[in-house]
A and B are shown apart, each in its own frame.
Chain A
Amino acid sequence: MGDALPLLQIRDLNKLFGGLVAVTGLDLDVSEGEILGLIGPNGAGKSTVLNMIGGTILPTRGKIVFNGEDITKLPSYIRAQQGIARVFQQDILFANLTVIENLLVGLHLHLRMGFVGTFLKRYTPVGKEMELASQTLEFTGLAQHFDELAKNLPHGKQRLLGLAIALATQPKLLLLDEPVTGMNAEEMEAILTLVKVVRERRGITSIIVEHNLRAVMSVCDRIAVLNFGGKIAEGSPKEVVGNPAVIEAYLGTEEDAA
């Protein structure tokens, strides 16, 4: 990493919701291939930061540069086209489509068809499209569920499908919003391993917002801690857990306790 230009640069990012300060003066760099954890108490502004990177919320002030390009004001679908993929916190899926169809929506970007192909031809995914979709299913371990409706999958598999849809867009940067909430140890392991594997095989960078500290510690190279919308600490997992400011943010000060 070191000298290379960071994949994502955030400078002086601010977000106000009316009078409420959600994020204030945030600077953050993410290098290519890095797995960054974003943690903090409830209401610290973690999800808002993720939404601003993904483009579902626009910042009040500040700048976001991705891959050398200023994306601060771009709509989310163009950010996705440039390589930012989002895994949502809730089970946002194409619930009444089958698992493979879910993936085919994700593949849309890479299989552009002309006007005739889009509007006048009967849509029957074949060849390259099915191959790419099945590859991703194989990779995420969902292959045996390919013709089930997404809404009928168990919770853990649904989150895995959310990740698979994001991977189908062939992203450079993955934004994961609490990817392991409500999961058992096994399901948690599956997701976290996958995040590491896509980094190794495809060099995909990830930003993970998560409450489960053990999960964050085990998978992240670096952790940034937010509190009241600002960054209070940044460093390796070990540095961060030992940081007094972080302990204070999570546990409160002695005066608070008294």
Chain B
Amino acid sequence: MNRKWLTYALGIVAITAFLISLPFVLRSPYWVSILIILGIYTLLVASLRTITLIGVFSLGHVGFMLIGAYSSALLVMRTGLSFWAAFIIAGLVSAAVALLLSYPFLRVKGIYFAILTLLTAETFRLVAWNWKSLTGGNYGLINIPAPNPLTIPGLGIMQFESFNSYYYLTLTVVVLSLFLLYRLEHSKAGFIWRAIREADILTRCVGINIMKFKIINFVVACFFAGVAGALFAHFQRSLSVDYSSTFGTMMSIYLIVYLVVGGPERFAGPILGATVLIIASEFARPLQENQPILLGVITILIVLYMAQGIVGLPNRFQLWYERALKRINRNTTSKTSLGG
């Protein structure tokens, strides 16, 4: 027991050290910027996965990211609010919109919920596109300020203009958010979410107000989508909402691809899926406009041959290992019986 705890602690220390040292190892602002985007998408996919725990699929998660991104950017630009307050408020605005929509939306399931959320996200995008006085319309928002410098006792003043410091900011926010999502999933509420996914009618008939638990789930997930949006806005320093932007339908589909490739059943799925596919698509840059083909091929192979996603790999290896052992054993026994 103690030894298991020690391995666990060492593992966490090793991963932390690895993540902290990455910018120094890579020494490339370009790759650090990829890591920042990777962190933001990891948070998005992880919060999208939280919604799947109640048995529905949202195709409109980027819509709530959009609300968070514009809320934070506009709060800082128009009211002069500090980034540190704005990015939390951005999450809350996104959660509030989710709360308003949750009751009608969560009355339906399956394909109906998927379509509702898809169209909602697209509506948000078109509102942002057309509301020129607020969002700049098709010109988008530019000159979004970087987060205000932060005084850290002992370390001095930290600026967030550089990629490296923004990487640490993203890392902190994403890791904290993932920790909260993980705790929620393993709490009593998370247990009830799973029960709802298994059999909602039975959950209701043992006396649980399932609508309440579904609303909490959706609102929490959209809060983190909003936070991810705020991180995105102040990193890009500009926002636009044309069809091919981050807030378009294509991005919603990418989020689901990341989730499926990583493995939706386990908490680590979104982290692995986003990491593998985002890094793979970076290496596929020389393919230029054919780049999505590589992602498509990876996705198809995983769906066909590893339905549990990348998180299922260790189990797979174990299975192969055991099968190989059996075969070796069978071979040796047959040889000895021949010899005898």
Contact = CB atoms under 8 A, between A and B. Distances in A.
A108 B192 contact: yes
Q: How large, as a class, is the contact surface on chain B?
A: 20 to 34
Contact of A77 (B184, B188, B191, B209): B209
Interface residues of A, number: 35
A94 B199 contact: yes
A94 B187 contact: no
B206 A109 contact: yes
A118 interface: yes
Given A94-B195, A94-B199, A106 B206 contact: yes
B188 A117 contact: yes
A168 B186 contact: no
A95 B198 CA distance: 6
B152 interface: no
Given A118-B187, A119-B184, A123-B190, A80 B202 contact: no
Given A86-B205, A118-B188, A120-B187, A97 B210 contact: no
Contacts of A121: 187-188
A122 B182 CA distance: 10
Interface in B172-194: 183-184, 186-192, 194
B187 A123 contact: yes
B326 interface: no
Interface in A54-112: 54, 56, 75-78, 80-81, 85-86, 88, 92-97, 101, 104-106, 108-109
A169 B188 CA distance: 17
A49 B21 CA distance: 66
A77 B204 contact: yes
Interface in A106-145: 106, 108-109, 113, 117-123
B201 interface: yes
B208 interface: yes
A204 interface: no
A117 B183 CA distance: 12
Contacts of B189: 118-119
Nearest to A113: B188
Nearest to A93: B199
Nearest to B216: A119
- The DSSP consensus for interface residues of chain B is helix
B203 interface: yes
Contact of B199 (A54, A92, A117, A118): A92
Contacts of B198: 93-97
A12 B194 CA distance: 39
Interface in A3-46: none
A77 B204 CA distance: 5
A118 B185 CA distance: 11
Given A121-B187, A123-B190, A77 B205 contact: yes
Given A105-B203, A123-B187, 20 more contacts: A54-B205, A75-B204, A77-B207, A77-B209, A80-B206, A85-B206, A93-B199, A94-B194, A94-B195, A94-B199, A95-B198, A97-B194, A97-B198, A101-B191, A105-B192, A109-B206, A120-B183, A121-B188, A122-B187, A166-B206
11 contacts: A56-B201, A77-B207, A77-B208, A94-B198, A95-B198, A97-B198, A105-B192, A118-B189, A122-B186, A123-B187, A123-B190
Interface of B: 183-184, 186-192, 194-195, 198-199, 201-210
Interface of A: 54, 56, 75-78, 80-81, 85-86, 88, 92-97, 101, 104-106, 108-109, 113, 117-123, 165-166, 168-169
